[in-house]
Amino acid sequence: MKWMRRALCTLLCGCVLFSQAAALPEMGALKSKAAALYAADGTELYAYHADEPLQPASVTKIMTMLLIMEAVDSGRASLDDMVTGSAHAASMGGTQIWLKEGEQLTLDEMLKAIAVGSANDCAVAVAEHLAGSEAAFVEQMNARAKELGCTGTTFVNANGLDTDGQKTLTTAHDLALISVELLRHPKIIDYTSIWMDTIRNGAFGLANTNKMLRKYDGMIGLKTGYISEAGFCISAAAERDGLTLIAVVMAAPDKDARTADASQLLNYGFANFAAYTPDVSAACGDLPVVLGKQPTVGVACDDPGTLTVQKEQAAGMTVAFDRPDSIEAPVTKGEQIGTARVLDADGKTVRELALRAAADVERLGFLDLFGALCRAAGGGA
């Protein structure tokens, strides 16, 4: 399964980092109860009480937004869909756009209200639109969390508010995993990076609850959260020089501490890590084909992606490859004909990639061979 391949990739990347962990400086003290720093490729860079179950408040909405983006990107929903507010959705407290029962807004506007204004009423309205009921949507949230490897998460609603004594619980580790998955849908950044906007044809203004958008260089999202029992929480994503990092902070004592902790985590990540994209071009030259109707076949490499490595480690990364001197026809497009390996400075393999035939090549038949012999004999007379 796709998520298993991603998990394996993350594990391999983590092994690279672990082997060099002693060289990293220490993280300064944090004021929050729990925190985690991840790269967008899923590599864990730092964890502090990251498996402690805590309330995420509105950071819950990263899962709501993930299910929205998955529905849109799969074609099961459209940003142009009209979403109707129900009495239940309109009854939500906390941050909201004062949705009225029967009022209709596009999914685009609903998503904007969720991502920018943290609208609890819109989160529930969209949940009902996509799943038929909020309860059914919450089942999907919990099922998706398990698929992503979240082990300490139980969602009880689509927005993170307490519900009849029930509380959403999750961990910094799990929120980071969900955030990583959300960033696999680049369109979400069009929403989470908005500073101010309007909905209802300009009649209702939205101001992003994530003030780090104006305070931190490279900030692109994702979501803040606060209720009194949860404290101040955030999943903060930032991008610099091709490296995207996610800092999760839970149960900070106040807004300033939340911002300070998230900034410290991100600063640590950008100071010590870099994005490394392996150059596999040398492994992809044409390969001679024996007894083929074409003399050569192109070689394509599986997408190497980007690895998160320590900065001093990046210069020592290399790519080695193993492929035959030639291949005998017939050749099928996509068949594996070799392997490329990304090596760290110690020569250890940190990522293995398949080299594949880029096209079909048919085998010469008897008549083809006979004609070739005749041509060769005639040319030698």
Q: What are the catalytic residues? A: 58, 61, 118
From residue 292, how far is each of 301, 314, 325, 336, 342 by CA, in Å? 21, 41, 15, 17, 31
Q: Which residues pair with 277 in a beta bridge?
A: none
What token pair was written down for 343? 């090596």
Tokens describing residue 286: 């044409």
227: closest CA among 245, 246, 207, 209?
209
Round to whole Å and give the CA distance between 312 and 23: 10
**For the residues of 263-284, what is the DSSP string, one character each?**
HHHHHHHHHHEEEE----GGGG
Amino acid at 333: K
Q: Is 321 exposed, middle or buried (0-12, 13-18, 19+ CB in 10 A)?
A: middle
**307 closest CA partner among 1, 17, 2:** 17
Q: Which two tokens stand for residue 35?
A: 């925190």
Task: State the DSSP code for 210.
Answer: -
d(CA 215, CA 144): 32
The amino acid sitting at 251 is A
Spatial separation of the C-alpha atoms in residues 135 and 86, rounded to whole Å: 14
CA distance 379 to 359: 31
Whose CA is closest to 228, among 253, 196, 207?
Answer: 253
Structure tokens at 367: 């008549």
β-strand 299-301 against 336-343: which pairing, if any? unpaired
In whole angstroms, how large is the CA radius of gyration of the chain?
Answer: 26
